Structure 1
Amino acid sequence: MQPSRGCISLADELNLVGSSCRGTFNNTTDSNLYRSNLARLFSQKLYNEGGNSNYNKSSYGEDPEKVYGLYQCRGDVTKQTCQSCINSTIGDTLNYCNESTTAILWYDECVMRYSDRPFSFTFESRPALGRSNGININASDLVTVKKAFNQSFSKLIAELATSSELKFETVSENLSSSFTLYTLGQCIPDLSTEDCRACLNSAAQLVEYEKRSSRYLYPSCGVGFNLMNSSADEPITPVQAPTSSGDDSGNGKENKTWIPVVVTVSAVATVGLLGFFAWRVHIKHRKNEEEKANSQVIRLLRLRDGIGNNDNTYEGDQNQWIHGSRICYGRIIFCQIRRFQFRSFTSRDYKWEKEQ
């Protein structure tokens, strides 16, 4: 779904993996007030808590426009990243789930949920989301990977279900000198030990272990793995050298075919990696240059009287990149991780101040 008309959106800094939007507004609910309560809940109460904890839940407003919300950041992200992820959900919610009373948004860094009803902290299997990177593991390695996969997830689930309040664990296992299997799992902290274990076991059965990377996400928990290879040429399962026989013609032909293939794969992988890193360096350099050029970066003041206010003023260059907000016709939505540019907006509609 494209951003609302009037919004000028640039690339996200956080990765939205997927979302699920459900429920519609009835005749007794003021949809505008519900959205306003939702924005206040995440931009104020939950955003502030993101600097203290990787998980929290709260509510805002009065029935029937009362909103219940929670966030859970991945157990290994910083508090700053956690707050950025919470902040990102506000704009994405209005983009993807603007007409819904209940939603869940999964990011690489966090998961966000809101609803017009209190949450039930039991194992929930719907909605669910599965993602894989599309690269298959060699057929000859599937047995080895499947065995390692089962061992890693068994260890992870045993540790995670009874772990600390974060209910987050990672496990790494070396499969060979070049291959390492990384597994990750996390449960909602309010989930019981039994429900956490059941949720993780169910999700682990649905990841695609024949892929190099896969994850499966429920509202209550999520699991994933990544098979990393530091050498493009080495198989996971060592291949034994063929035994010598009286007729060497077949072996000679096989060797002549194998060597060019290995060189080609290695060359392609090397060129691909070099191209990827060159692109990343270019993007980082361009971003740094943009930020240096913005010597008068301005940010949106937190409005005390609602999402939009037509009595405010803006002072500054209207061609300047704006850090800290999503701008739409007549509306301002807190979204600090995005960058936008004024285009044909009247200055009297917005209130800004220079970055301190």
Structure 2
Amino acid sequence: MGFSKSSFSLTLILLTSLAFLIPLNTATDLYTLIYKGCSRQNSQDSNFQSTLTSLFNSLVAQSTTSRFFKTTSGSGQNALSGLFQCRGDLTNADCNNCVKKLPAMSTNLCGQTISGRIHLAGCYIVYQTSDFPQLSGTELLYKTCSGSKESFEDKRNTAFANLETGIAGGSGFYATTYGSVYVVAQCEGDLSVSDCGACVKEAVQRAEAECGNSIAGQIYLNRCYMSYSYYPNGVGHSSGSGQQTGKTVAIVVGGAAALGFGVICLLFLRSLWKKRDDY
């Protein structure tokens, strides 16, 4: 008893088609490296690596239940402070999976430098020694601008204004779309509402001044970031887009899987009836 060759072929085609329905790039995108920042000075402390490992372990453990956490490892001059933060629209599971990538990446990219920052699309991690110079919250760490479009700035500026209004609502994370321009901003988790608004405003002003009519840009300041992208075909996002996309994907893949299971059952029953007729 078993599938006929034709039944097996149909099943294989179906399963292959289902595989293509699953958005494999969703998780991969979260782990895309945006930028790294490593100090030029290495630690001379013989216990540095063990202290850093302890710090990373604490941060990873907290990422199962929180999207932001700050802590300290070690003591005295050898103490290390650090934090992680995930995008505000990630689930706890996605946040944890993202943060788990960071310690190894930090070791590979920064080694034993006394300060480091690894920023992925979905999360970032920061650590520094107690005597490392403190940066202004609006210090520019990284920027990128790409593409250009004439008569784009008015549409972009309206999207930026909506972003500033939205972030002032106090959640520390906001994403919205205006005229096919998708914008998102996030502040470090312990910033006050007013400081967050001021930081994002500074990031927006830098984007306006430095990216001009670029159709995409990213501005990363020390304690906040903002990015924008233009989708000429109207493919954009809304506030909370990550969660909504996840729900849509679950419905589509779940429905496809149910359909696939039903077809496989029918093929199996057909094989049984064919076998019965052969006796």
What TM-score results when the alignment is normalised by the length of structure 1?
0.52
- Secondary structure in 1 aligned to 2:78? coil
Residue 169 (structure 1) aligned with residue 152 (structure 2): no
What is the number of residues matched between the two proteins? 205
Q: Which whole-Å CA distance do the structure 1 matches of 2:89 and 2:158 have between them?
A: 22
Q: What are the within-5 Å matches in structure 2 for residues 256-335 of structure 1?
A: none
For residues 180-202 of structure 1, what are the alpha-carbon distances to aligned partners after superposition, in whole Å with 9 as ceiling and x for unaligned? 11110111121123322221111
Residue 215 (structure 1) aligned with residue 218 (structure 2): yes
Equivalent in the alignment of 2:124: 111
- Secondary structure in 2 aligned to 1:206? helix
Match of 1:160 among 162, 167, 174: 167
- Secondary structure in 2 aligned to 1:20? strand
For residues 293-321 of structure 1, what are the alpha-carbon distances to aligned partners after superposition, in whole Å with 9 as ceiling and x for unaligned? xxxxxxxxxxxxxxxxxxxxxxxxxxxxx
- Secondary structure in 2 aligned to 1:64? helix
TM superposition shift of 1:26: 5.6
Match of 1:18 among 21, 31, 35: 35
Match of 1:89 among 102, 118, 129: 102
Equivalent in the alignment of 2:182: 182
Q: Which whole-Å CA distance do the structure 2 matches of 1:118 and 1:229 have between them?
A: 48
Equivalent in the alignment of 1:45: 58
Q: What are the within-5 Å matches in structure 2 for residues 114-153 of structure 1?
A: 114-117=127-130, 124-132=137-145, 134-137=146-149, 139=150, 142=151, 145-153=152-160
TM superposition shift of 1:221: 0.2
For residues 252-295 of structure 1, what are the alpha-carbon distances to aligned partners after superposition, in whole Å with 9 as ceiling and x for unaligned? xxxxxxxxxxxxxxxxxxxxxxxxxxxxxxxxxxxxxxxxxxxx
Code of the residue aligned with 2:174 in structure 1: it is E
Q: Cα distance 1:12–1:157, how it changes in 2: closer, same or farther (>3 A)?
A: closer
TM superposition shift of 1:210: 2.0
TM superposition shift of 1:84: 2.0
TM superposition shift of 1:62: 2.4
Equivalent in the alignment of 2:253: none
TM superposition shift of 1:120: 9.9
Q: Which whole-Å CA distance do the structure 2 matches of 1:163 and 1:34 have between them?
A: 37
Relative contact order (alpha carbons < 8 A, sep ≥ 6): 1 or 2 greater? 2
Question: Are the counterparts in 2 of residues 122 and 220 from structure 1 also a CA contact under 8 Å?
Answer: no
Q: Which whole-Å CA distance do the structure 1 matches of 2:212 and 2:115 have between them?
A: 32
Question: Are the counterparts in 1 of residues 67 and 88 from structure 2 also a CA contact under 8 Å?
Answer: yes
- Mark the runs of 5 or more structure 1 residues left unpaired by the alignment: 1-10, 232-356
Q: Cα distance 1:195–1:63, how it changes in 2: closer, same or farther (>3 A)?
A: same
Equivalent in the alignment of 1:344: none
Equivalent in the alignment of 2:227: 224
TM superposition shift of 1:127: 4.8
Q: Cα distance 1:187–1:224, how it changes in 2: closer, same or farther (>3 A)?
A: same
Q: Cα distance 1:20–1:182, how it changes in 2: closer, same or farther (>3 A)?
A: same
Question: Are the counterparts in 2 of residues 14 and 109 from structure 1 also a CA contact under 8 Å?
Answer: yes
Code of the residue aligned with 1:39 in structure 2: it is T
TM superposition shift of 1:72: 0.9
